[in-house]
A and B are shown apart, each in its own frame.
Chain A
Amino acid sequence: MKRIKDFILGLFRVYCREFKLILSDKGIMIFLLFLPLGYPIIYSLIYNPELVKEVPFVVVDHDRSTLSRKLVRELDACDEARLLGYAADLPEARRAMDSRQCFAILEIPEGFGRKIGRGETGAGAMYCDMSLLLRYRGFLVAITAVMQNMGAELLEKDINTFVPLAGTIATGNLLPIDSIPMGNIRSGFDSFIMPGVLILILQQCIILALGMAGGARHERASVVGYDPHNNAPSVLATMIGKALTYFTIMGLPAVFMIHYVPLIFTFPMAGNLFEEILFITPMILATIGFAFVFQAFVTERESVFVCWVVTSIIFLLISGLIWPRYDMPPVWKFVSGLCPATWGVEGFVKMNSNGARLWQVSHEYEMLWWLTLGWWVVAYFVQRFIVLPQTLGSRPRRREASRLKAIRES
């Protein structure tokens, strides 16, 4: 009974001291406040125009017929494309493209209009700059729509020339086609990438902050300006105490990120906030466990920057947001399964964008709890056998150790 009481008391002391330590540490506060509050805003603003519109293209029209002009006019009328002008020949058009004035060239060969008039297919080509896939995609969508519209119109007009009465049957749309985007109904880039990125930012904030706090434990108190030692007699109590501190501090920023950022930028918000919070809880816990393990590699406050910042790129690509998880090479699929953010992103996007309920993402939810368990077990051993001896190595550390021992014995 007394042991339980001591355990809880130690845990509580660690919690309070860690709180004070964090509040007095500017470096950690940046990770816990500026990063989750400011970074999502900057990031969302970059992509906030959502759609790539009015990308300029140049036309090389060797035909100069009514139909070729109609084709160009209709493409120009599309949201995605904008006519920059006509070029006399392909080299001139290429010069415009090379100097980045336009990003596609539409070439209409001679005889285009005549062929269509004869009832044959009028072919043409559109050359696209491939440096950005979004521009290419825009042109593709636009030209497909134009082709279909013109085709339908011509069909309606010409079918009577083949069979006099056919028009009566074939008028109107024979078979209307509806394309309906789901989840991200505007097909906007911001609405696609940000819900996932928010979860990634949440994970990175926790790991960076805990990493820096772990680095501080290796520094001399005089350098850092305070005594970074905050241990309870039991390693587990220390870990739980600290985890609770971070959990408390991250609570509000986490809600800000999963609820208010989508609200500000009108991202899809099909989910239930309460369920989302329930879902995100094990992700935060698993991430804290992950960060405890990471502390073993941080022997100095600032080295978290050097060795952790770049991992954001890994987590982004591995999360399944950019490249679907089902198609990953097996090694990376396995690695991605070990990252809390992977399941966090998967589940959160499904809930937030596609309106899935908590029980529909039960697989992701279960995986997060398993990861929490797994990382915490590894974290316990890492903290007990690597971090603790490391930080208690030097002379001030040994003094600390004897103090701890005294506490333990008393």
Chain B
Amino acid sequence: MMGGEKRGLWAIMVRSLAQIARRPLMWVAMLGLPLFLFLFLTTMLDAGLPTRVPTAIVDRDGTSLSREVTQTLGGMQMVDITTTANSFSEAKKALQEGKVYGFFLIPENFQADLLAGRGPAISYYTNMAYFVPGSMLYKTFTATAVYTKAGVAVNVAQSLGVNPADAVPLMQPVNIQTRGIGNPQLNYGIYISNSFVPGVLQLMIMLVTCFSLGEEIKRHSSVHLMRMAGGSVYKAVFGKLFPQTVIWWVVALFMEAWLFKYNHYTMSGSWLWLTLSELMFVVACQGFALLMFCIIPNLRLSLSVISLSGILAFSLAAFSFPEQSMYPALSIFSWMMPVRYNFLIYANEALAGRDIYYSRIWYVVYIIYMVAPLAMVWKLKREFEKPVYCP
């Protein structure tokens, strides 16, 4: 190796920074990809909710009443009647081909049966293979059906001599308004971005941590690193990783500003605690990856494990499917991902504006992630001094 090299923590940090600066891959991994994904996720979900879901109507009746129903449906904000089908099978074909996400079916003799009190059924079909448009349609179709029913009932009551003003509340005696705390418009961007963006950050932090440590072993430069650290593996690892921490901090703060300031996602809690959470989250992710690398000090294997867990974290950390509903054997893993705690703190602080008292434990868990690898780092000493690369 180079003779007369500099030693000490400072020199290691400078070396670590130079390694990052020299490799385009590091630029991509630490800045390019995270920033691209932040931009991608937020712009992709910019609209908040998919509106104007393509829909078909099957009007087998063709009377003034059935046309009224069609008009009610067409007037709804969420749907766009793109297809008028003549039969159920025609509408089903359109649904299979993905031209529409659902359809509303008015049966034959609808008006006549209704007036005769034979109780004709209106039915609606939603394609739940596409959850979001399917759910939107379900909501809209239900509203249309209920309005239609109410309208019919008011007509019937009126024909029996009830005052229309009295009849209206009669049709909806119970009315419970559902209110979403922190996200009343059901903005999909708020929902997805706030969990997926930190998830992306976690994945990249863990991959880069493992990759940069493993590269030292692969390229046998860890011997040099250990010499610079005077044989102290703690000094070597700290000096190696701290410059990365600082870069990640900048990225994390940018992420926070991007989400809550630029995109104006709900922020009803304390900036101080949220910022602290993001900063601790970065170190916790590094701690998690370092622990993994200490347990499996093989570049490819540890990267495989990190990739697997980092991608599974998007499901396991219960961003979409609640941890309480998972199998207990799997929901344990939910609590093993740093990003889970980031998500819980975000939900408490930013979304619901809860007191810090309710999040206190999540911050403690961050500290555990930071401290845990310290107990294992000694294992790296041998690996660093006698590096062996297994492809």
Q: Residues on A close to B: CB < 8 A?
A: 25-27, 30, 39, 42-43, 45-49, 51-53, 55, 71, 97-100, 106, 116, 119-137, 139-140, 143-144, 146-148, 150-151, 154-155, 158-159, 162-163, 165-166, 169-170, 172-185, 187, 189, 191-193, 195, 216, 219, 223-225, 268, 299-303, 305-307, 309-310, 312-314, 317-318, 320-324, 326-329, 331-332, 346, 349-350, 353-356, 360-361
Contacts and interface: CB of A to CB of B under 8 A. Distances in A.
B44 A174 contact: no
B170 A47 contact: no
A189 B325 CA distance: 11
B122 interface: yes
Nearest to A168: B117
Contact of B50 (A137, A185, A321, A323): A323
A121 to B, nearest CB: 4
B97 A175 contact: no
B342 interface: no
B161 interface: yes
Interface stretch (B198-206, B225-233, B239-247, B371-379): B198-206
Given A180-B123, A307-B29, A47 B321 contact: yes
Interface in B111-130: 114, 117, 119-130
A53 to B, nearest CB: 7
Given A130-B180, A162-B162, A177 B46 contact: no
Contacts of A331: 43
A172 B114 CA distance: 12
Interface string B52-66: 111000000000000
A155 B310 contact: no
B72 interface: no
Nearest to A196: B129
A128 B178 contact: yes
A131 B351 contact: yes
Contact of A317 (B44, B117, B214): B44
A148 B171 CA distance: 10
A305 B307 contact: yes
Interface in B309-338: 310-312, 314-316, 318-322, 324-327, 330
B315 to A, nearest CB: 5
A179 B143 CA distance: 12
Nearest to B41: A317
A181 B25 contact: no
Given A119-B170, A307-B33, A178 B98 contact: no
Nearest to A136: B180
Contact-size category for B: 35 or more
B132 A322 contact: yes
Interface of B: 25, 28-29, 33, 37, 40-41, 43-47, 50-54, 92-93, 95-98, 101-102, 114, 117, 119-135, 138-139, 141-142, 145-146, 148-149, 152-153, 156-157, 160-162, 166-167, 169-183, 186, 188, 190-192, 196, 199-200, 203-204, 207-208, 211, 214-215, 218, 299-300, 303-304, 306-308, 310-312, 314-316, 318-322, 324-327, 330, 343, 347-348, 351-352, 354-355, 358, 389, 391
Contacts of A45: 327, 330
Contacts of A25: 391
A143 B129 contact: no
B287 to A, nearest CB: 19
Contacts of B330: 45-46
B244 to A, nearest CB: 13
A126 B186 contact: no
A321 to B, nearest CB: 7
A49 B325 CA distance: 7
Contacts of B133: 324
User: Could you say which of B33, B196, B318 has the most chain A C-beta atoms within 10 Å of its C-beta?
Assistant: B33
Contacts of B177: 123-126
Given A98-B358, A174-B149, A354 B129 contact: yes
B117 A132 contact: no
A99 B356 CA distance: 11
24 contacts: A25-B391, A27-B300, A45-B330, A46-B321, A121-B174, A130-B180, A130-B191, A131-B352, A134-B320, A154-B174, A166-B157, A175-B153, A177-B146, A178-B124, A181-B128, A183-B128, A268-B129, A302-B303, A309-B203, A309-B207, A317-B196, A322-B132, A324-B133, A327-B51
Contacts of A30: 304
User: Could you say which of B152, B174, B322, B391 has the most chain A C-beta atoms within 10 Å of its C-beta?
Assistant: B174
Contacts of B142: 144, 177, 179
A128 B130 CA distance: 24
Given A52-B321, A177-B146, A324 B53 contact: yes
A170 to B, nearest CB: 7
B310 A98 contact: no
Contacts of A354: 95-96, 98, 127, 129
Contacts of B173: 116, 121-122, 150-151, 154-155, 158
A65 B314 CA distance: 45
B351 A130 contact: yes
B315 A46 contact: yes
A174 B176 contact: no
B267 to A, nearest CB: 14
